[in-house]
């Protein structure tokens, strides 16, 4: 946790308008189009170099639906007729390239010839030739490791670049890449609403998709100003969620040069070597100071009463509190204590993900303590979403250096906010963390994002 991240967020109390605000939920139903998905015939949607493998058929189905989506959406949102890709589509099997499957000058066009072997391990849009090429061995690997629908999302992302080729690219790579993620999210919502003819998505697959973005993010500590920058895990997942939740309008309007990104380079070699992770005990101490400092300030302003900070207590086995016997994480109102299982949750989350996974774990039940003292529910779906949203708000203060006056070490590092997203997708969906959860991991990430970007006014705190 070292601070070199940029961007301004509202101060803790600013904008705390609680009346009539709530977190957004996932829109659309996960169902196929009329009659269920049907394959597109190869001659109806040609892809140069495509084989008989199912992965090529799946890519073809996705691309056909993406083209259908943009045929209608482009005129509506960009005011011009949709123009199909002039250069078409190319598939390469990087593990067994068949040179005879491609034109003599390879993939591309006279202004930008590309050899088939250069596609290995990649999927891309070539703006010079207005074409999309992909390595089907890569797509197969993504489908196996992260679920089948990550393949259509990759296709939708590259198609988003093709649309940028029509309405205009940004000056920064990270803007273009995250905007393409947003465009892919808008298309995915269209599929989830049952509008697609050739592909469908089930709600649990959204969790797999956002997990897959972990593979597709930039390396932690990479320079966000690099022309090839794609964004942090949070940046990319946030952009995808923005398109899924809000459609194409925010994708078109909200990716200007002033957009906030959490990607940042490490401050120094020491930060790089420890990947920005504070020692376990130091992290617990910092959280134990910053949480009561934050809530001690905002709680009286929001609810007109003083805040009584709960005790943070680690345990092994079971905490001494009714209702928490089978939990790894929870808030006990009887003794105003936040309990965290050190063996089964705190230590593995810290070791496997990073220090901000632990900060997230502690903040979640702490937020339930806030709701309890505010006279709000602590054991239903609204409480869960609110706790996740409030955790995003609390961590936005780290990003905004709100705690450095209290503790100089309470500063954030590259990748910290990514670790929060990973914790929610890995542990947040477990009954031992949130029992009777009525939200998917994708929705939890959406609630966290809402709190991080919009503050407590959006966190279901109205009585």
Residue 144, number of CB atoms within 10 A of its CB:
10
Which residues are CB-neighbours of 286 under 8 A, at least 6 positions away? 1, 278, 407, 409, 410
**Quick one: pLDDT at residue 5?**
24
Query: In this predicted structure, what is the pLDDT of residue 15?
Result: 34
Between CA 370 and CA 227 the distance in angstroms is 43
pLDDT at res. 35? 58
- Per-residue pLDDT, 322: 87
pLDDT at 428: 93
Report d(CA 350, CA 357) in Å as an integer: 6
Half-sphere exposure of 220 (CA within 13 A, CB side): 20
pLDDT of 26: 32
Residue burial 83-117, b: 16+ Cβ < 10 Å; e: rest: eebebbbbbbbbeebeeeebeeeebbbeeeebebe
Give me Rg for the CA atoms of the chain.
23
3-class secondary-structure state, position 195 = coil
pLDDT score, position 22: 29
Q: What is the structure's pLDDT at 121?
A: 92
**Residues 6 or more apart whose Cβ sits within 8 Å of residue 429:** 207, 437, 440, 441, 444
**Which of 5, 28, 395 has its CA nearest to residue 246?**
28
Give, for all 463 residues of the chain, the pLDDT tens digit. 322 222 333 334 333 333 222 233 333 333 344 557 899 999 999 999 999 999 999 999 999 999 999 999 999 999 999 999 999 999 999 888 888 899 888 898 887 888 999 999 999 999 999 999 999 999 999 999 999 999 999 999 999 999 999 999 998 899 999 999 999 999 999 999 999 999 999 888 999 999 988 888 877 778 888 888 789 999 999 999 999 999 999 999 999 999 999 998 877 777 777 777 889 999 999 999 999 999 999 999 999 999 999 999 999 988 889 889 899 999 999 999 999 999 999 999 999 999 999 999 999 999 999 999 999 999 898 999 999 999 999 999 999 999 988 888 788 888 999 999 999 999 999 999 998 778 899 999 999 999 999 999 999 887 6
Closest to 208 measured CA to CA, from 144, 140, 138: 144
Q: CB of 109 within 8 A of CB of 103?
A: no
Q: What is the pLDDT of residue 1?
A: 33
* DSSP character at residue 339: E
Chain centre distance of CA 306: 35
Quick count: other Cβ atoms within 10 Å of Cβ 289? Answer: 15
Question: Do 248 and 73 form a contact (C-beta atoms < 8 A)?
Answer: yes
Residue 222 has a pLDDT of 85
The strand ranges marked E within 8-164 are: 88-92, 123-126, 131-135
Q: Does residue 292 contact residue 18 with C-beta atoms inside 8 Å?
A: no
State the pLDDT at residue 410: 80
> Which residues have CB under 8 Å from 406's CB, separation 6+?
289, 290, 293
pTM higher than the cut 0.85 = yes
Identify the bridge partners of residue 114 per DSSP, sorted by sequence position.
107
Counting DSSP H helices and E strands in the chain, the numbers are 14, 6
In angstroms, the CA 409 to CA 399 distance is 13
439 C-beta neighbours (distance < 10 Å), count = 20
Q: Which residue has 């914790």 as its token pair?
A: 423
Cβ neighbour number for residue 168 with a 10 Å cutoff: 9
């Amino acid at each position: 946790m070292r601070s070199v991240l940029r961007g301004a967020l509202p101060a803790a109390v600013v904008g705390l308008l609680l009346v009539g605000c709530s977190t957004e939920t996932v829109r659309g139903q996960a169902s196929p189009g009329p009659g269920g998905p049907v394959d597109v015939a190869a001659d109806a949607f040609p892809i140069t170099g495509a084989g008989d493998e199912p992965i090529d058929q799946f890519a073809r189905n996705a691309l056909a639906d993406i083209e259908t989506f943009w045929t209608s959406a482009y005129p509506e949102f960009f005011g011009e007729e949709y123009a199909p890709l002039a250069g078409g589509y190319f598939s390469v099997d990087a593990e067994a390239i068949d040179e005879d499957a491609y034109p003599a000058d390879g993939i591309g066009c006279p202004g930008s010839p590309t050899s088939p072997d250069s596609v290995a391990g990649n999927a891309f849009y070539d703006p010079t030739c207005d074409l999309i090429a992909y390595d089907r061995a890569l797509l197969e690997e993504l489908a196996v490791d992260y679920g089948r629908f990550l393949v259509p999302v990759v296709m939708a992302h590259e198609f988003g670049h093709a649309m940028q080729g029509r309405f205009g690219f940004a000056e920064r790579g990270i803007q273009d890449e995250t905007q393409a993620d947003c465009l892919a999210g808008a298309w995915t919502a269209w599929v989830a609403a049952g509008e697609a003819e050739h592909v469908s998505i089930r709600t649990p697959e959204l969790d797999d998709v956002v997990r897959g973005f972990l593979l597709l993010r930039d390396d932690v500590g990479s320079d966000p100003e690099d022309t090839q920058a794609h964004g942090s895990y949070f940046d990319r997942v946030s952009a995808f969620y923005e398109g899924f939740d809000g459609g194409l309008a925010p994708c078109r309007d909200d990716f200007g040069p002033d957009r906030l990104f959490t990607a940042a380079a490490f401050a120094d070699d020491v930060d790089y070597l420890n990947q920005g992770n504070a020692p376990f005990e130091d992290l617990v101490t910092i959280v134990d100071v910053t949480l009561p400092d934050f809530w001690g300030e905002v709680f009286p302003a929001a609810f007109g009463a003083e805040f009584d900070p709960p005790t943070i207590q680690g345990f092994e086995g079971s905490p001494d509190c009714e209702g928490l016997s089978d939990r790894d994480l929870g808030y006990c109102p009887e003794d105003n204590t936040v309990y965290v299982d050190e063996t089964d949750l705190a230590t593995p989350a810290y070791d496997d993900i990073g220090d901000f996974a632990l900060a997230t774990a502690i903040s979640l039940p702490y937020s339930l303590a806030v709701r309890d003292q505010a006279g709000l529910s602590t054991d239903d779906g609204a409480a869960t979403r609110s706790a996740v949203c409030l955790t995003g708000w609390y961590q936005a203060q780290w990003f905004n250096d709100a705690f450095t006056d209290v503790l100089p070490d309470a500063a954030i590092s590259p990748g910290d906010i990514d670790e929060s997203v990973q914790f929610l997708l890995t542990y947040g969906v477990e009954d031992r963390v949130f029992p009777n959860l009525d939200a998917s991991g994708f929705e939890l990430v959406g609630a966290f994002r809402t709190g991080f970007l919009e503050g407590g006014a959006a966190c279901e705190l109205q009585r």
